[in-house]
Chain A
Amino acid sequence: DQQVKQNSPSLSVQEGRISILNCDYTNSMFDYFLWYKKYPAEGPTFLISISSIKDKNEDGRFTVFLNKSAKHLSLHIVPSQPGDSAVYFCAATRGAGNNRKLIWGLGTSLAVNP
């Protein structure tokens, strides 16, 4: 039972265009969402996050949008660059206290073509 879903295994975009990666979740208790980027043979690296009290967070070329009613979030990369080619994971967490384990999606492999 996948609580965090990334339904597109792969995405290909042209350099300079917008990349939109989507993520859906089923658990309404999730209150914090994160995007991680992963290159082959490396661990995931944190990209951007958003709290459930917001609907948008922006950091440079990266913007995350959250639609709580639809239980949907998306990551926009503008403009896309070849170095952005990687696997992008959506993750979610919930609750207060010390254990903020991340629940992950399966990832979307992004290819940015020069």
Chain B
Amino acid sequence: GAGVSQSPRYKVAKRGQDVALRCDPISGHVSLFWYQQALGQGPEFLTYFQNEAQLDKSGLPSDRFFAERPEGSVSTLKIQRTQQEDSAVYLCASSLDPLRDQQFFGPGTRLTVL
């Protein structure tokens, strides 16, 4: 596809359930970012990959959050034992050059934890 895609677009989980959110970046893009956007807030950085290497995970809010990009393309953000405060839109972005700042965003996955 031409852009960044994310699936599912919407996810409803019961508290305590594990979820996995997928991101397909633009083909050939080296850098991949995950952001969390709570209602009424701007996106907050979670983690960053350059190819398959996770270079920064300082934004992950707890050890329940885990991200991977094993082959340097598709990435998965996993949240274990979801809590209500995890409810947010999770945005994935990719960019061609790690030194450039124009990141291309997917539509996001809206996670609702009941």
Contact = CB atoms under 8 A, between A and B. Distances in A.
Interface of A: 4, 32, 34, 36, 41-46, 49, 89, 91, 93, 96-107
A89 B100 CA distance: 18
Contacts of B50: 98
B106 to A, nearest CB: 5
Given A102-B43, A107-B42, 16 more contacts: A34-B102, A41-B107, A42-B108, A43-B91, A43-B105, A43-B107, A44-B105, A49-B102, A97-B99, A98-B98, A100-B31, A100-B99, A103-B45, A105-B42, A106-B41, A106-B42
Nearest to B105: A43
Interface of B: 4, 31, 33, 35, 40-45, 48, 50, 55-56, 59, 91, 93, 98-108
A46 B42 contact: no
Given A42-B107, A45-B105, A98-B55, A104 B42 contact: yes
Contacts of A41: 107
A99 B42 contact: no
B59 A99 contact: no
A35 to B, nearest CB: 11
A86 B91 CA distance: 17
A41 B33 CA distance: 19
Contacts of A103: 45
Given A49-B101, A98-B98, A102-B101, A44 B43 contact: yes
